Structure formats: structure tokens, C-alpha cells
Amino acid sequence: MLLNKFFINVIIRVTFIVLTSVALGIVLSHLDRGYYYTLSGMIFLIMLQSWLLVNQVNRTNSDLEKFFSSVQDHDSSIRFPEDAKNNSFVKLHDRMNYLNMVIQNAKIENERTSQFLQSVVDHVDIGLLSFDMNGRIEIYNRAAKRYLKVQQLQQLSSLKNMNDELNIIINTIKPGQEILHKIKIDNLLQSILVKSTELKFESNVIKLVSFQDITNELDKKELDSWQRLIRVLTHEIMNSISPITSLTTVISGYFKRKDDGKPIPLKNIDYQIVSKTLSGLNTIEETGKGLLDFVDKYRSLTSLPKPNLSKFTIDSLFLKCKILMESNISNNIKITASVYPEDISIVADFAQVEQILINLIKNSIEALSNKKNGTINLKAFYAGDGTVIQVEDNGIGISGDIIEDIFVPFYTTKENGSGIGLSLSKQIMQNHDGTISVNSAPNKGSEFTLKFQL
């Protein structure tokens, strides 16, 4: 038992005080016999024993106060005597010294862990910057120094005069939001993706902002997109130019001599040659019109007007789309709509978002043409930091080898498709700072998801 000795010491002193007090009471009852010196001695003994008891307790309180003060001040260097022969608290001092050593080792380990984490944070190529509600910087790694072009940063307000553009982004970016920012680093223009999140610790809120250089990824993606687009454009143009070239060769052959290539005499031009020529010219005209239509569609894709933003409920959007489409579908297809909560609204261009939904519903109708119990489900709900609209069907689905190409302009697997519906939908969503994605599997249906930022 840690405090047995102290307990026994107190009991003995209290016992002596009680016995002395009893003796004092006896002496007081015989004062008439003249025990004045005895009375004085007993009073002195009571005062002495009381002082010794108070001193013992105060010494203990003093040791405990020193110990807890050192803990509060993060001072683990204090030591208490453990070898005093007359000390009643050798074991207590031993435990307090041991606890001090544990605290000191924990501080060393915590410092070691902190330095390790700082080394890891400094090692990554992604810039990390965190600050509290008062703008005090918590984390600031080497990559962030390179992007922000600041070596020392204590307060977020210091960025205002050093890097005004990034300072605005850092202060205004919302948790979960992503912003693409162009910045010159070492005289090279680079694309930096800025992301943000919030961490709550009791009453304090820490905002963590990351900076990631995605220049190479964007370049690869852009090159891949251009290659796909050029492949599609080449296919469409070659499909139009090849028959025109062939027909012009055939038609010119009607009017040339085979031996020397000179024009044939007018008397040799008969009704059959004229008929074949007109037929070929009609074909050239139709092919040329098809090529002009293709160019016109491409021009409409590249000149999409800016969104005319207004606030409207998704329920009203679904209702209008259902009314427009239900009259054009067969009895084997059913369109359902669900909005939760019912009052969800977004700020967007109503006509453009309606255009996306109608195009997706049309695609679903075609995918359900041979389905007995086809369903198209329109859904809307909140998800994280955005509002989600989904168009889901149980049609034939999309195979994995073409699902990456469906948003490429003019790519289509339909016999009479234009290939601009989904690419136009993607451009509309990008103009709304939103995204469009697809999840599909053959014979299991497709699910297109539109996400608008709150």
C-alpha cells in the first residue's frame, strides 16, 4: 500500500493529540491543587503535535502541487527524493518520478512522430496547407511553398500581398470543391488542381487545402481526346469524301475516251450517259448535304450558349420531361420519378438541363425497345456537397469496350445516330460546373448521373 506509512503516522499523531487532550481535561479538573506547569506542558504538546500533523499534510500537498504544476507546464524535469530515511512518501515520490518519466517519454515519442509525419508531408509532391478559423497556419509543406512561392508563412493573411489569386481561391473554396488554376512555375505554365476539406476538433475547425499538379494528366487526357475526336472526324469525312471521289471518277469516265483520255464526241453522248450522270450528281449532292449537316452539328457543339441561370425545382423539371416523353413511348415502357426531399431545387439553365434529360430518356427508350417490362426511373437527391439527378433504365446496357467513348463528339453505335447528344450533355454540365457520369453493364441497364454543386 502506497500511503500506509503516512496513514500510520497520522493515526499516531491524532492518537497522541486525543490522549493529550484527555489528560488536559483531567488536569483542568484539578487546577485547585496547582498543576499549572503540567497544564502548560500539555498545551505545548498539543500545539506541537498539531503543528507536526499540519506540517506533514502541507508537505504532502506541496509535493503534489509541484508535481501537478510541472505536468500542467509540460515540465518533466522535476525530481522528488526517494532515498530519505525519514520520508514517509518514498513510494509516492517513486511513483511520481516514474509518471514524470512516462510523460517525458511520451513527449519524446510524440515529437518523434510529429517529425516523422512532417517529413512524410514534406516528401509528397502534393502541396498541403492547413489553417484554423483565425488564419493560423498548421501545416505547410515544401510543395505548397513551391506553388505559393512563399518560404515562411505564419498567418494566412500574409498571402494577400504575395499571391493574390491563390489567396482568393484558398479563402473562398468550399469543402469538397475542386478548382483548376493555371500558374507559372519556373517559367512554365502548369495546371494546379486545388481541393479543400474541413476537419473539426471540438470547437476548432481546421481547413485543409491541397494543390496537385495535373499538367501531365491533362495533357495526356487532352491528347487522348483529340485522337479520339480526329478518329471520329476522319471516319465521318472519309465516309462522305470517298463516294464523292469515286463518283466523280466514274462520271468523268463517261465523257472521256479510254485510249487517250480526250473528251468523247457530242454525238456519242446518249440518254443513258446523261441519266447515269444525273444519278451520280444527285448522289454527290446528297453526300455533300450530309457533310454540311455534319459540319453544322459540329459548329453547334462548339458554340453552345452560356447557361441562363434560374432557380427551379427538380420536381417541375421531371414533370415536364414526363409529359413530353410519355406520348412518344410504347406501352412496354414506364417512366417513374422520385425526388427526396420533395422541395429540392437547383440553380441552372432549365432549358439546357431539360435537353440533357430528354436526350438521356430517348437513349433509354431505344435501349428498351425489345424489353417487355421496361422502366425508366428519374431520381433526385442530395449527395455530399451536391445535388444528384439520375436517369436509370433496365435496358440492354453498354459494353465495357465502348463506354469510355460514348461522350466523344460524333461517336455513335446507332445506325441513324448523330453522336453529339452525350457530348453536348457533357459540355452543358461542364458549363454548370457539374459532372455527368455513367454506370452500365450489358443486359443489366444503364444509370446516368448528373451532379450539380450546392
**What are the residue ranges of helices labelled H in 303-405?**
314-326, 350-367
- Can the peptide bond before residue 175 be classed as cis, meaning omega within 30 degrees of 0? no
| Confidence grade of residue 413 (pLDDT, cut at 50, 70, 90) | low
CA-wise closest residue to 306 among 425, 407, 422, 432: 432
Least confident of 147-161, 334-348, 440-454: 147-161
CA dist 346 and 314 (Å) reads: 7
Angle at 304 between CA 298 and CA 309, to 5 degrees: 160
167, 160 Cβ separation under 8 angstroms: yes
Sheet of strand 204-213: strand arrangement = 137-140, 127-131, 204-213, 188-201, 178-185
Q: Which helix (H) or strand (E) is 36 found in, with range?
A: helix 36-72
Cα–Cα distance for residue pair 186/199, rounded to 1 Å:
33
Q: How far is Cα 173 from Cα 196, in angstroms, rounded to an integer?
A: 7
CATH fold label, 124-213: Beta-Lactamase (3.30.450)
Cell numbers given for 454: 450546392
Question: Residue 71: which of 82, 63, 60, 83 has the closest Cα?
Answer: 63
**Whole-number Å distance between alpha carbons of 38 and 31:** 10
Mean pLDDT value across residues 279-291 = 81
- For 447, the enclosing helix (H) or strand (E) is strand 445-453
Q: Identify the weakest region by mean pLDDT among 241-245, 335-339, 373-377.
A: 241-245
CB atoms inside a 10 Å sphere around CB 110: 10
Give every CB contact of residue 277 below 8 A, 6+ residues apart in sequence.
Answer: 251, 254
- The mean-pLDDT minimum among 157-161, 300-304, 381-385, 435-439 falls in 300-304
Backbone dihedral angles phi then psi of residue 350, each to the nearest 5 degrees: -55, -45
- In eight-state DSSP terms, residue 256 is B
Reply yes or no on whether the pLDDT at 314 is more than 90: yes
Residue 1: predicted pLDDT:
44
Whether this prediction's pTM lies above 0.75 is answered by: no
Question: Does pLDDT of 18 surpass 70?
Answer: yes
More confident residue, 327 or 398: 398
| 19-44 pLDDT per residue, tens | 777 766 666 666 666 566 666 776 77
Domain 310-453 sits in CATH at: 3.30.565.10
User: In whole angstroms, what is the distance from residue 193 CA to residue 95 CA?
Assistant: 54
Helices (H), ranges, 73-175 = 90-123, 142-148, 164-172
Q: Could you say which architecture CATH assigns to the domain 218-302?
A: Orthogonal Bundle (1.10)
Within 124-207, where are the H helices? 142-148, 164-172
Where are the chain's structural domains? 4-106, 124-213, 218-302, 310-453
Going by pLDDT thresholds of 50, 70 and 90, the confidence category of residue 418 is: low
Q: How far apart are CA 189 and CA 176, in angstroms?
A: 25
Distances (CA, A) of 16 to 30, 44, 46, 50: 21, 13, 8, 10
Over residues 259-268, the mean pLDDT reads 79
